[in-house]
Structure 1
Amino acid sequence: MLAGGRGNRLLPLTLERPKAMVEVHGVPILRHQLDWLAGCGVEHVVVSAGHLAEGIVSYLDSRPSPPRTEAVIEQRPLGRGGGLRRAARALPYPGEPWFAVYGDIWTCFCLCGMRAHHLRGDVAATVALAGRGLPGSAVAYDELGRVTDLAPSAPGPGRVNAGVYLFTWQVISLLPEEGDHADSTLPRLVGARQLAGYAIDAPWQAVNTPADVTRLERELADRRATRQTVAE
C-alpha cells in the first residue's frame, strides 16, 4: 500500500498527520483500507510510508490483526514506483502475485473477482477500472479488456484508474528504483499488451482534497440512511 505522499492538496488536514490517517466520519482512510483488505482475505500488508511515517507506524502497532501489517519507511521520497518496488521486496510470499493499492482511495469491491480475472487473462498486471463519469486518470481498453492507452485523448469507455493493481512477481524488476511507475512500468506493460483492465461498479472515490472528504462523508451518510430505510 502506498502511503508515503505529503498530501499537499489535503491541507490543512495533513498539517500534522499523513494522508492515509486523514479521517472520514472519524475513521482513518488507512483503517478503512485494512478492514477492506482483511474482508477480501488478504493476510499480509506492507505499507510504504514516508511523510510523517511515525503516525502510520504507531497506528499499525496498535491495530490488531488481521491482516498482519508492517511499514517500510522511505528515508527520502522514492516516488510511487520506487515506493512500490521497495515495499514489494518485503512481501513474505516470493513468486506469488501481489496487490498494490494507493493509500488515498475509498472503495469496497471484491478482490477475489479481480484475482480470478487476472489469472484468466494470463497477463503480467491487472488494473481496476472505476465506473464511468468519475474524476481521475482515464484509461482506454479494447474489446478483450487489454489496456491500450493510459491517457487517451479521444473519448473512450470512460473508466478511470482506480489505484488498485494486481502484479505478477516478475513486475517488481520492472518498477523503478525511484520515480513513478506510471511513467515507465505501466507504459511498458501497455506496449506489450500485458496490462488488463478489470471493471468495477462498486463505490469508489479518490480522496485528494478536503472537498473530497466532505463529498465522501455525505455519500456514506446517504447510503447508511438508504439502508436503514430499506431495513425498516
Structure 2
Amino acid sequence: MNGAHHPSPPVTQAVLLAGGQGSRLRPYTDDRPKPMVEIPGTGIPIIGHQLNWLAEEGVTDAVVSCGHLAEVLQEWLSGADLPLRVSTVVESEPLGRGGGLKYAAASLPRPDEPWYATNGDIWTRFRLRDMAAFHHERAATATLALARPRIPWGAVETNEFGHVLDFIESPPSPYLINAGVYVFSPEFTRLLPERGDHERTTFPRLARERRLAGFPIPQGAYWRAIDTAKDLTEAAKELGQKEK
C-alpha cells in the first residue's frame, strides 16, 4: 500500500464549522452560536475546549467558519488567550455544510497540506495524530472518525419465546456513526460542492471509489455531540466523574 512505509506528515491546520443555529439548545443559543455554549462548571465554551485539543494535537492554525451570531464568536476569539492562530470566515449566505467547508478551507494557510475539520458542537478527546497516521497509511482522500454512541433509551432483551430476560440502561449502539471529526488530503478541497452537503455528494462518491476511510475512536475515549440541554448536563456530569 503506497505511503504505508513513510511516516505521516504532521497535520497542523484545521477548520471548525461553527455556523449552526443550535435551535434544540435554546434558550442557551438565543444570544450565542452553539459552539459558544459553555459546559457547566468549566467556564469555557465548547469551541474553547476544541481549540485547546487541536493545539495539543499539533495544530498551529485554525479557521473558524461562522454564521449564526458570528459577532459573538468573533468577539470571544479576539479576547481569549488562545494556544494557536485563529482566523474566522463568515458565510454571507448559507452555503450548506459542504459549501461552508470549501469556503473556510480556502483560508487555510497551507492549501497543499492535509487538514483536520470538526463540527463545532463536538466534545471529544482522542489522539488526532493516530487518526492522521491511519489516514496516511490508507492513502485516503478523506477519513472520518467513527463513534459508537449510547442509545438514549433503556433496551429490553428477550428470548425466542418472548420472555423478557433483562433491562439494559443506555446500551452502546450496534452501529458506528460519523463522529464529526475528519482528516482531509489537500485534493479533497476541490471535490467539495460550492453549496450543499458533502455528506450526500462528495462522501458517497469517495466511498464508491474506496477513497474514504473510517477511523474508530479508541474505546474509552470521550465523545459527545452537544445537541440538547440534556447533553450539556450529561457532559458536565461525565467531566466531574473524570476529574475525581
Shorter-chain TM-score bucket reads 0.7 to 0.9
Whole-Å separation in 2 of the counterparts to 1:133 and 1:217:
17
Distance 1:51 1:177, change over 3 A: same
- Determine the C-alpha separation between the residues in 2 that align with 1:101 and 1:3: 9
AA of the residue aligned to 1:12: P
Which ranges in structure 1 are unaligned for 5 or more consecutive residues? 136-155, 226-232
* Alignment of structure 1 residues 35-46 onto 2, 5 Å: 35-46=52-63
Q: Mapping of 1:65-84 within 5 angstroms?
A: 65-84=82-101
Is the aligned partner of 1:87 residue 2:104? yes
Letter of the 2:65 counterpart: S
Match of 1:58, SS state, is helix
Q: Tell me, yes or no, if structure 1 residue 221 matches structure 2 residue 240.
A: yes
Question: Which AA in structure 2 matches 1:125?
Answer: A
Question: Between the two proteins, what is the percent identity of the paired residues?
Answer: 50
Give TM-score, length-normalised by structure 2: 0.81
Whole-Å separation in 2 of the counterparts to 1:132 and 1:223: 18
Counterpart secondary structure, 1:208: coil
Counterpart of 2:226 in structure 1 is 207
AA in 1 matched with 2:80: R
TM-score, scaled relative to structure 1: 0.85
Instruction: Decide which structure has the larger Cα Rg and report it.
Output: 2
- Report what 1:12 is aligned to: 27
Contact 2:148–2:174, Cα closer than 8 Å, also in 1: no
Tell me if the contact between 1:134 and 1:159 (Cα under 8 Å) persists in the aligned partners: no
Show the counterpart of 2:8.
none
Runs of 4+ displaced beyond 6 Å: none
Is contact 2:33-2:69 (8 Å) kept? Answer: yes
SS in 2 for 1:129: strand
Q: State the Cα deviation string for residues 48-72 of structure 1 (Å, max 9, x = none).
A: 0011000111111112342100000
Counterparts in 2 of 1:5-154, with a 5 A limit? 5-25=20-40, 26-131=43-148, 133=150
| Residues 101-155 of structure 1, C-alpha deviations (whole Å, 9 max, x = no match) | 10000001111101111110111111111135467xxxxxxxxxxxxxxxxxxxx
| Partner Cα separation in structure 2 for residue 70 and residue 199 of structure 1 | 30
SS in 2 for 1:181: coil
Q: What does residue 192 of structure 1 align with?
A: 209
Aligned counterpart, 2:5? none
In the alignment, the residues of structure 1 paired with residue 34 and residue 192 of structure 2 have an alpha-carbon distance, to the nearest angstrom, of 23
Matched residue pairs, number? 205
Alpha-carbon RMSD:
1.4
How far apart, CA to CA, are the structure 1 residues paired with 2:242 and 2:198?
35
Deviations 1:59-104 (A, max 9, x none): 1111234210000011111111111000001000121111111000
Unmatched 5+ residue regions in structure 2?
1-15, 153-172
